[in-house]
Amino acid sequence: MPMTPTITFRGIHPSPALELAIRRHAVKLERYGGPVISCRVLVEKVGRRRESGNPIRVAIDLAVPTAEIVISHEAAMHAEVAIREAFDTARRRLQDRARLQRGDVKRHLAGPEARPMPAAKTR
């Protein structure tokens, strides 16, 4: 059964096209890091800035079996672009997490501790 994301809009009128895009991106996440238990998405207009236009913030809160992944992405572009970029970040985080779980990434052991240099000999 596909996971259904909870979508919240603040300062932006809800659009069926945006909701559909979010649902499509959320369903795709399950193929990268295993099952996604829950997905909450917040799309909000941050405020009006003269230099950068109307920035859009997209926050994604993913619950996977052993962790919670939180992504916050802000872009001064269209909401569709901000949503796509936020879900790209979520995908990369899920892929990194899956690599660590599989053992594909080496975990470095603690290196040797630094020792103080011997004092210089005086003549």
**pLDDT, tens digit, for every residue of 71-105?**
999 887 788 999 999 999 999 999 988 888 887 77
Tell me what pLDDT residue 72 has.
93
Tell me what pLDDT residue 26 has.
93
Which residue type is seen at 117?
A: M
DSSP 51: T
Distance CA 77, CA 96 (A): 27
Length of the chain: 123
Q: Is 26 buried (19+), middle (13-18) or exposed (0-12) by CB count in 10 A?
A: buried
**pLDDT, tens digit, for every residue of 42-73?**
999 987 665 656 789 999 999 998 889 999 99
Tell me what pLDDT residue 78 has.
83
DSSP element (H, E) containing 63: strand 56-64
**pLDDT, tens digit, for every residue of 10-44?**
988 899 999 999 999 999 998 887 788 999 999 99
3-state SS, residue 33: helix
Given phi > 0 = left and psi -120 to 50 = alpha, else beta, which region is 47? Answer: left
Provide the whole-model pTM: 0.78
Q: Pull the structure tokens for residue 19.
A: 């909701």
In 3D, which of 26, 28, 48, 50 has the Cα closest to residue 38? 26
81 half-sphere exposure, CB direction, 13 A CA radius: 7
Tell me what pLDDT residue 51 has.
63
Please provide the CATH number assigned to the domain covering 6-101: 3.30.160.100
